[in-house]
Amino acid sequence: MYSILDNYRAVFSSQWWEPERIKRMQERKLVRLVQHAYTTVPYYRKLFDQAGISPSTIATLNDLQRIPVSTKQTLIQQDPNELISSRFKRAELQHDSSSGSSGTPFSVYLDKDYVLNRNMRFLRGLMATGYRLGDRLLLITDRHGGSGKSWLRWEKASPEEPADRLLERIEAFRPSVLYGSGTPLRQLAGKILDTGQALDFLKSVVWTAETLDERTRQRLERTFKAKVFDFYGLTEMGLVAWECQAHDGYHVSDDSIIVDYLPISDSGGTLRMAMTNLNLYSMPLIRYDSGDLAALQAAEPCVCGRGLSRLERVEGRVVDTIKLRSGASISPYSFICQLEILEGLERFQILQDTYDHIRVSIQSAPGAQAHLDRDIRKIVQGIVGTQLDVTFQYHETLPSEGNGKFRAVQSLVEQGK
């Protein structure tokens, strides 16, 4: 198991290593994790036995690909005792839960060493945005438990708080870094524009939990007078990928997570991510399919000098691909990348409710509706062709979901029906 120093070293130094050296570390960790999972976790023992895999034959990243993928849906259906390592006592583990696509939460049980690794990775992501220890940080989140250490100068606010109240807190606390999910940040920006207040103390704004489009990024940067950094994380993996100051793709936490990219029956470079958490021993997750989609960045090194690999972007969730009767599916990003650049389009949401129909909801700037209507129809029809009926609706304000998150493209239709 790992000490604080090992964790610190692994996370903060290894980001600057050559990719080859990072890969060797991944493989060393993988060998140990696979042995551990096979000998102490009933679920993995069965999975390996059924697939005819001996753990001693898994030594490289290529070997890893022989291990069957486990979807979140499969794991949700297991008894937690099947997933938790017999080396740990459940009562001593930190319990957390991640939302399932069907609404059933997925319970994860985290050991202390892992939590330390996860926190270090979060800190590393923050420091890449310009945050330094001692800086004030305001987290608009329900997460990050009660671990707030006073010397850290971190404060938490709830995403449920109304934007005017949040703005008051921000002005009183004067954080250097503001962290939050998309919906509260967007509402806050709206409030700042309404009141004409200027914030001059922010170094950076960290956006998380929702897909960030280019238009929104630019609007937030103008409003907050600070650079926006996008973080992609999962409860069960911690911070997976994050932007450095180059804003040229997302660095993957390769030191702690191996991401396998699996093609989906579609087009244009969209891949599902299956992740192996190299530090989580209490409840190992090996080739865990999170249900999220990404596109890979070309392999040349980032100008920042980090050796960590990069995603070009995170594209949303596989359940939100738009499904066609032919069996093909369209990545949420196909719509986002074409619509986000339209002048006067403030927000949009595309919802597939049946196999034959999508609804496009639009929030437009005053006076923009006429030209938008023409452009949006052309773009959407260009993507879906004649395979789907499309209804267009205009709204004053598009609502978020109950959990305060907003998904620009959403599908209620299951794959392969």
Euclidean distance between CA atoms 251 and 129, whole angstroms: 12
Residue 237 burial class via C-beta count within 10 angstroms: exposed 0-12, middle 13-18, buried 19 and up: buried
The interface region with Zn ion, picked from 170-178, 285-293, 305-313, 376-384 by CB under 5 A, is 305-313
Of 295 and 398, the one with the shorter C-beta distance to Zn ion is 295
CA-to-CA separations, 266 to 272, 297, 311, 323, 326, in angstroms, rounded: 11, 18, 19, 10, 11
Closest CA to 212 of 102, 113, 347, 93: 347
Of 302 and 328, the one with the shorter C-beta distance to Zn ion is 302
Of 18 and 171, the one with the shorter C-beta distance to Zn ion is 18
- Minimum Å gap between C-beta 127 and Zn ion is 12
410 close to 188: Cβ distance less than 8 angstroms: no
Of 241 and 244, the one with the shorter C-beta distance to Zn ion is 244
Helix axes 182-195, 163-173, angle to 10 degrees: 80
Q: Pattern 246-275, binding to Zn ion, x per CB under 5 A?
A: x-----------------------------
- Minimum Å gap between C-beta 106 and Zn ion is 31
Q: Kindly give, in sequence order, each residue whose CB lies less than 8 Å from that of residue 131, ignoring residues fewer than 6 positions away.
A: 137, 176, 177, 203, 204
- Minimum Å gap between C-beta 345 and Zn ion is 30
Of 224 and 229, the one with the shorter C-beta distance to Zn ion is 229
Cα R_g (the chain), whole angstroms: 22
304 touches Zn ion by CB under 5 A: yes
244 touches Zn ion by CB under 5 A: yes
Residues in binding contact with Zn ion, number by CB under 5 A:
5
The interface region with Zn ion, picked from 78-86, 271-279, 304-312, 362-370 by CB under 5 A, is 304-312
Count of residues in the chain: 417
- Minimum Å gap between C-beta 6 and Zn ion is 24
Of 127 and 246, the one with the shorter C-beta distance to Zn ion is 246
- Minimum Å gap between C-beta 207 and Zn ion is 17
- Minimum Å gap between C-beta 304 and Zn ion is 3
Residue 246 burial class via C-beta count within 10 angstroms: exposed 0-12, middle 13-18, buried 19 and up: middle
- Minimum Å gap between C-beta 409 and Zn ion is 28
8 close to 120: Cβ distance less than 8 angstroms: yes
Point out which residues pair with 169 in neighbouring strands.
none
Structure tokens at 321: 């691909």
For Zn ion, the binding residue among 61, 76, 302, 379 (CB under 5 A) is 302
Of 125 and 284, the one with the shorter C-beta distance to Zn ion is 125
Residues that bind Zn ion (CB under 5 A): 244, 246, 302, 304, 306
